[in-house]
Structure 1
C-alpha cells in the first residue's frame, strides 16, 4: 500500500479470502480484516477495520492490533473524522510505547499530532524539561494569550515567543495551543 500498489494489495486480500485463511485462526482473521480495511475504497473501509478490532481475542496480538488501529486512524484522519482518528491513533501510540516499538510509536505519534491530538503520554521530561521562561510562555499560551500579548508581558519580541513555542510543542508532544493546554493540565504536580 505504501508503495502505491493498491490494486496488487487488493488482489492479495482477495486471495486470502478465497482461500478462507481467516478461518485458520483468530490472528489470521484479525490481519486479513485489517488488510481489507487498508485496501477498501473510501466509505467502506470502516466496516473492515471494525471487524478486525472485534475479532475475539484480538488483544492477544497487541502489535498486530496496534498496526490495524494505526492504519484505521490514518484513514479516518484523511477522511477528516478527527475525533475518531485520535481515539485509534492514541490507542496505537500507547500500545507501541508499551511494546517499545520505537519506529511505530513515532509514526503513531506523528499521525496523532496531525489529527490534533497529543502524543498520549507526555514525552520523558515533559514540562520539567522546559526552562523557567519556556514554562511561563507555555502557561500563558495555554491561557489563551497571543504571542504579542505574551511578548509584551515578558518583555520579549513576538518572534522570540514564537521560537520558544516552536521548541515547547515537540517537548510536550503537541501541535496546537489546545493540545498545550491539555498537556499542561495533565502534568502531575510535583511535591518537594
Structure 2
C-alpha cells in the first residue's frame, strides 16, 4: 500500500516490542528489496534504520546505523533520525555498555525536546538515566565537536553566513547548514545566537 513506507519504523518497532522479531525483520527486508532507499532520502534513512533495528548480527547492525546516521540528508529529517539514534543507543547500552550509549541517547533526547515531542523525549531521557547520566543537560558535554564542526561553529558565532563559511572552507552552504544542524544539539542550543556562549563553555573554549 502507498502508505506503508511512511509507517515503516512504526510497524518495525511495534513488531519488535511485541516479540515479533521475525516479522519485523521480514518487513525491513521487504522495504530494502522494494528499493525504497532509491526513492527518496527519507526512505533511505528509515529503511537503513529498520534494517539496523532488526539485525541480529552486530556488525550488520552497526553498518546500517552508521549508514542512516551519516546519510547526507539525515539532518533534514530530525524526528526519524532521533528515533534511529534512540534505538541505536538502546542497542549500544545492551551490547557495549552504558558509556557507549550516552552520545546517541543524548542527541536523541535533545532533538525530541527541540521538536516538542515530550513522550519521545521522556523515553530517551529514561534510557539515558539507565546509563548513569543524571540529566540530558549534564550529558551534553559528551557530544564533542569534530574539528570541522568546531571551525564552522566558530565562524558562525563570529557572524558569518553559511555562504561565507562555505567559501572559506570550500563547502556548499547546504553542507555548512547540515554541520550546524548537528552542532546545535551537541552544544545543547537551538539557535545561532547562542553559539558564542556555548562555545565559550567547552573545555578549552575561548571567545571568538
- 7, 25, 37: which one aligns with 1:22: 37
Using the alignment, how far apart are the partners of 1:96 and 1:54 within structure 2? 19
Using the alignment, how far apart are the partners of 2:57 and 2:119 within structure 1? 27
- 47, 58, 68: which one aligns with 2:63: 47
What is the correspondence of 1:88-103 to structure 2 with a 5 Å cutoff?
88-103=104-119
What is the correspondence of 1:9-158 to structure 2 with a 5 Å cutoff?
9-44=24-59, 45-121=61-137
Using the alignment, how far apart are the partners of 1:53 and 1:35 within structure 2? 12
- Higher RCO, 1 or 2 (CA under 8 Å, sep at least 6)? 1
Name the SS for the 1:111 alignment partner. Answer: helix
Structure 1 unaligned spans of 5+: 123-192
Using the alignment, how far apart are the partners of 2:96 and 2:137 within structure 1? 24
Deviations, residues 1-47 of structure 1 (Å, cap 9, x unaligned): 11111100100111111110110011100000001110001423111
Give the ranges of 4+ consecutive aligned residues of structure 1 lying more than 6 Å apart after TM superposition: none
- Total equivalences in the alignment: 123
Q: CA RMSD in A?
A: 1.5
Contact (CA 8 Å) 1:93, 1:119: kept in 2 or not? no
| TM-score for the superposition, normalised by structure 2 | 0.57
| TM-score for the superposition, normalised by structure 1 | 0.61
Contact (CA 8 Å) 1:96, 1:104: kept in 2 or not? yes
Structure 2 unaligned spans of 5+: 1-15, 139-208
Shift of 1:83: 2.2
Using the alignment, how far apart are the partners of 1:81 and 1:49 within structure 2? 17
Bigger radius of gyration among the two: 1
Distance change in 2, residues 1:112/1:42 (3 Å): farther
